[in-house]
Amino acid sequence: MTNPTITDLRRELEKAREALVAAETQLARHAEMNAALHCSERVMYSPLHAKVYAAIDQITHALARTATPPTLDHQSSDGVWAALVADLDRCRHGRHQGEACVGCVSGISEGNPDAPPGSALGYGMRGDRIVVPDRDHKHDPAAWRARTNGGEQ
């Protein structure tokens, strides 16, 4: 969660940046107009124009430093690990199994060729298999555990 003070400061910095960009554009047009009026081949920008330009760069830098880090797709209350596991059905082109994909031969993502549904990824503490579930059940943690019938799998 982001600190509300930082969020407020970022909002105010965005407003100031927007105003300074407009002022920089106005100062540039004014200098270009003066050059055209005096038939000058060279446009002379004022020192104020340079200071406004520098302030815009400083605000952009401050906004970049306080930006929130990107979040993963499908992030749930289980956190980053759940998002990682939910992405195991993606094909080489980054599309989930069954989604449209121009890189796959059929035009529909065929899913992860290294871990198709039903394949075992490992074993739990009690020896139960951890398997890739079908597309409809990939967000259900219980579906990742293979059912055992009397100790057999």
Nearest to 97 by CA among 82, 113, 85, 81: 113
Residue 79: predicted pLDDT: 67
Question: Tokens standing for 67?
Answer: 């930006």
Nearest to 139 by CA among 97, 62, 78: 78
pTM score, two decimals? 0.43
Angstrom distances, CA of residue 4 to CA of 8, 11, 64, 67, 68: 6, 11, 17, 13, 12
Residue 70: predicted pLDDT: 58
Q: What is the pLDDT along the chain (153 residues), one digit of tens a residue?
A: 457 778 888 889 999 999 999 999 999 999 999 999 999 989 999 999 999 999 999 999 999 888 876 555 554 456 677 777 778 888 888 888 888 888 888 888 888 888 888 888 888 888 888 888 887 887 788 888 876 554 444
Does residue 83 contact residue 76 with C-beta atoms inside 8 Å? yes
d(CA 13, CA 129): 53
Task: Residue 23: count other Cβ atoms within 10 Å of its Cβ.
Answer: 16
